[in-house]
Structure 1
């Protein structure tokens, strides 16, 4: 039975969305094609109707996840950036990796992925950095803030005790507030 182009695109989008959430929760490489397809109610064999390979799916997951980041959207003003940073560095974000930023959740896997995946990630990271650099009028500060945010979230997720997690997040928010206050 042939499906319409619309049905095929809807299935592809469901697969991307589901794969992004699964990858951010448990790692992309840890979930096989059969598991990715089962999550949307299809068999593993149907996967290749949508993507030539799992690496191609990973490239698309990275594109989708990073392109949807509210922190990379223009226009970005200082107040909005500060609100985004507060939300990013929150216990809610620490405890909800599947609904949050893909960078801390998938960064290590992206670093080991084939070149197309890393190029896609670089494109969106540069887009994010440029949005922040335009707002802050300082490209180096934008990279430093981005790195601080991702690192703080990774470290907070590594810790077992919520009060330790909160301590890391609070210290990072205070550090960022100071850096933002000192910048032009």
Structure 2
């Protein structure tokens, strides 16, 4: 049975969205095509009508995942604290919500190690674009930050990504919260709320 062009596009979108979530949760090698298609509510046979290979889907899914994170920044996350927009971004990135839900989070802590082991220039290009985007955004936000203005954006990004990775390993241990709090304070300074409590 043939499907309309609109339905075919909808199916493709469902597959990419399912893959973007599952790949971030399980890694590139931790989930199969059949599982992705099942999560998308489609049969396995429809996969190759949409993608040349699982690697092709991995690239499309990674592009989709970072587009979501870019939209989060563009839609005003930094405006939550206009006096210190970098703090808003750092606190959101290092939040327990991001830590505990890798399927909807940033691809860097979820998949960068996997991507580094794959000989796929197209996939690496997605990660390079992602890293450059974050560096550009951090540079812009740092200029308005009272503490981070002198720090290199690459150091800030590396600290943020590393903190998410480590906090996911120890998620149910109190050490995770203290680790994240230390990184937020290192990048953006002590929490204004905590500082006012101490006065």
> Would you say the 8 A contact 2:99–2:167 is kept in 1?
yes
Matched, 1:97 2:108: no
Q: How far is 1:95 from its partner?
A: 1.2
Looking at structure 1, the residues matched to 69 and 150 of structure 2 have their Cα atoms a distance apart, in angstroms, of: 19
| Corresponding residue SS for 2:16 | helix
State the Cα deviation string for residues 126-183 of structure 1 (Å, max 9, x = none). 122112223325796211111111000000011153311101111111111149xxxx
Deviation at 1:47, TM superposition (A): 0.4
Paired residue for 1:147, among 134, 137, 158?
158
| TM superposition score normalised by structure 2 | 0.81
State the number of aligned residues: 179
CA distance in 1, matches of 2:46, 2:182: 47
Residue 182 of structure 1 corresponds to which residue in structure 2? none
RMSD: 2.2
Partner of 1:112 in structure 2?
Answer: 117
Per the normalisation by structure 1, the TM-score is 0.87
Residue equivalent to 1:125? 131
State the secondary structure of the residue aligned to 2:152. helix
Looking at structure 2, the residues matched to 59 and 139 of structure 1 have their Cα atoms a distance apart, in angstroms, of: 35
Q: How does 1:28-43 map to 2 (within 5 A)?
A: 28-43=28-43
Q: Match of 2:185? A: 174
1:161 corresponds, among 134, 155, 172, to 172
Extract unaligned runs of 5+ from structure 2. Answer: 144-148, 191-199
